[in-house]
Amino acid sequence: MLKVKQLSKYFHGKQVLHEIDLEIKEGEIVTIIGPSGSGKSTLLRCLNLLEIPESGDVLFEETNLLDKKTNLNEIREQIGMVFQSFNLFPNKTVGENITLALKLLKKMDEAQANEIALGLLKRVGLEDKFNVYPSKLSGGQKQRVAIARSLALKPRVMLFDEPTSALDPEMVTEVLDVMKELGEEGMTMVIVTHEMGFARQVASRAIFIDGGKILEDTTPETLFTRPTHQRTKEFLAKVL
Ligand code: ADP
Ligand code: MG
């Protein structure tokens, strides 16, 4: 579904991703772990060209995102993204946050968009929050709304960048549970996370990245119990 070939990315002359090769198949739940600054977010952001790599290719199905003829907006509708910081529109209600893209991009009328939004809110357990403003929600609730919002355009794949890192501990589970359910429904997902328990239990594949390079790309079981690289062992010793 997604393919990255020989991708390199630089910031101010410093290389932060080194010739990355990566393929994500439909239905896979891929978790990316690694130290702070190792390039996890940059890699994720390259998958929908929020960051433009200096060399290499990014393909969604057969479409090369770096091809000038590619309609990026059309592709991005199919690649949902959820950030650490929720990024909800504070001056819009929960319902409006979700219906906005449906009305603007899909030209849906109010009633139709509201119905979809309500369905999505049900899915994340927040159907009673439709008319509420984000400021009235807990962090966990905000993140669940952000997930519902990114599902509105029916993406084929979801990218999560540390979705629970900004949450109080007691709210982490409610967000992880929503993600777990999504995975069980067959959603293809790429998840950068520090939740090692989640990575181990839910992911079908685990990647360890360090210094802008993929050092391990294997099953969670293997990564957590028999990693190949010393760097992985050191990282796991610190976080487990
Ligand atoms: P991670 O998500 O693993 O913590 P990042 O992908 O955010 O790592 O960052 C990888 C490297 O790129 C770091 O050295 C970081 O400082 C640098 N970097 C990330 N984004 C930018 C940016 N917009 N401008 C300059 N440097 C950046
Ligand atoms: Mg990051």
Please state the pTM of the whole predicted model.
Answer: 0.97
Nearest ligand for residue 207 CA: 1
Q: Closest ligand 1 atom to the C-alpha of 51?
A: 23
Nearest ligand for residue 83 CA: 2
pLDDT in tens, 109-150: 999 999 999 999 999 999 999 999 999 999 999 999 999 999
What pLDDT, on the 0 to 100 scale, is given for residue 154? Answer: 96
Q: How far is the CA of 11 from the centre of ligand 1 (A)?
A: 8
Q: With a 6 A CB cut-off, is 27 part of the ligand 1 pocket? A: no
Q: With a 6 A CB cut-off, is 41 part of the ligand 1 pocket? A: yes
Q: Closest ligand 1 atom to the C-alpha of 38?
A: 3
Q: How far is the CA of 51 from the centre of ligand 2 (A)?
A: 13
Calpha distance 33→48 (Å, rounded): 19
Query: What was the ipTM of the complex prediction?
Result: 0.98
Q: With a 6 A CB cut-off, is 11 part of the ligand 1 pocket? A: yes
DSSP assignment of 12-24 equals TTEEEEEEEEEEE
Calpha distance 26→110 (Å, rounded): 32
pLDDT in tens, 52-67: 999 999 999 999 999 9
**How large a percentage of the chain has pLDDT more than 90?**
99
Nearest ligand for residue 161 CA: 2
What pLDDT, on the 0 to 100 scale, is given for residue 211? Answer: 98
Mean pLDDT of the chain: 97
pLDDT in tens, 146-188: 999 999 999 999 999 999 999 999 999 999 999 999 999 999 9
Instruction: Identify the band that residue 51 occupies on the pLDDT scale cut at 50, 70 and 90.
Output: very high
Of 87, 83, 76, 86, the C-alpha closest to 153 is 76
Does residue 240 surpass a pLDDT of 90? no
Tell me which H or E stretch contains 122: helix 110-123
Does residue 200 surpass a pLDDT of 90? yes
**How large a percentage of the chain has pLDDT more than 70?**
100
Phi then psi for residue 24, to 5 deg, are: -115, 120
What pLDDT, on the 0 to 100 scale, is given for residue 112? Answer: 97
Neighbours of ion ligand 2 (CB under 5 A): 41
